[in-house]
Amino acid sequence: MQHDLFTTNDAPEPISIGADALLLPQFLSAYEQQLVRAIDTIIARAPWRQLTTPGGRKLSVRTSNCGKYGWYSDRAGYRYVACDPLTGQAWPQLPQVFVEQAQAAAEEAGFADFQPDACLLNCYQPGVKMGLHQDCDEEDLSAPIVSFSLGLPAQFLWGGWQRSDKVQRIRLQHGDVVVWGGEDRLRFHGIAKVAGGNHPLLGGQRINLTFRQAKR
């Protein structure tokens, strides 16, 4: 499926990474400026912050959220909340470009009618990583996960259904999208330490947008 009228036949082919998981290389290339402007607007209202795990460890990645719900972590546990605990205000709305491209990517991967109500923004500086984990705090696990990569490249750690399963390393570039659901929905995944560098749009950082359907 083409996600707009300007997509050409020269676009890289989707790459299957599982029975119900797809890597869409350079899927966002035509929208990078719009996406970065939208991120700046979100962060102005819901600034980056470092969350704390229930065990008291501070995450190295900086986070924010937009949408009806935001993913949050502190001593009380992992959960979705309707208001930003930092400001007491509702999270910024999902920008239209976010919704359109997340839905287009989901449909490309075979998941029609994806209705994201939450977007977690993660900011990785060089040396920052994300350990293997499952996305399992959502009420409806039938909806897929849609993940945008912007800025510096990263190694996506794509594991199995047990933390001890063999991990595949998949290089993610600026503009790539990964979609997984169905049989692959609860695979363990993470990000290896991000290497240093300088991206023309985002400088020395990687920003990941993860879209989810948090509530039924």
208 is in an annotated binding site: yes
72 is in an annotated binding site: no
Write down the pLDDT at residue 2: 43
69 is in an annotated binding site: no
Write down the pLDDT at residue 6: 43
Write down the pLDDT at residue 119: 98
User: Hey, which residues does 63 pair with through a beta bridge?
Assistant: 49, 122
- Domains, the chain, in order of start with CATH, read 15-212 (2.60.120.590)
In 3D space, the residue among 151, 140, 168, 209 whose CA is nearest the CA of residue 21 turns out to be 168
207 is in an annotated binding site: yes
57 is in an annotated binding site: no
49 is in an annotated binding site: no
Give the tens place of pLDDT for each residue, 2-29: 454 444 446 799 999 999 999 999 999 9
Write down the pLDDT at residue 1: 41
Write down the pLDDT at residue 138: 97
66 is in an annotated binding site: no
78 is in an annotated binding site: yes
189 is in an annotated binding site: yes
Write down the pLDDT at residue 204: 98
Residue 78 is encoded by which pair of tokens?
Answer: 């992992």
In 3D space, the residue among 155, 30, 10, 215 whose CA is nearest the CA of residue 104 turns out to be 30
Write down the pLDDT at residue 216: 86
Write down the pLDDT at residue 99: 98
Element (H, E) at 147: strand 145-151
Write down the pLDDT at residue 96: 98
As a whole number, the mean pLDDT across the chain is: 95
124 is in an annotated binding site: yes
211 is in an annotated binding site: yes
Residue 120 is encoded by which pair of tokens?
Answer: 């977690």
65 is in an annotated binding site: no
Give the tens place of pLDDT for each residue, 38-80: 999 999 999 999 999 999 999 999 999 999 999 999 999 999 9
Write down the pLDDT at residue 142: 95
Write down the pLDDT at residue 63: 98
Residue 20 is encoded by which pair of tokens?
Answer: 């119900």
Write down the pLDDT at residue 7: 44
Render 52-82 in DSSP notation, one character per residue: B-TTSPBPSSEEEEEESBEEEEETTEEEEES
212 is in an annotated binding site: yes
Sign of the dihedral defined by the CA atoms of residues 164, 165, 171, 177, in that order: negative
Write down the pLDDT at residue 178: 98
In 3D space, the residue among 190, 203, 211, 209 whose CA is nearest the CA of residue 152 turns out to be 203
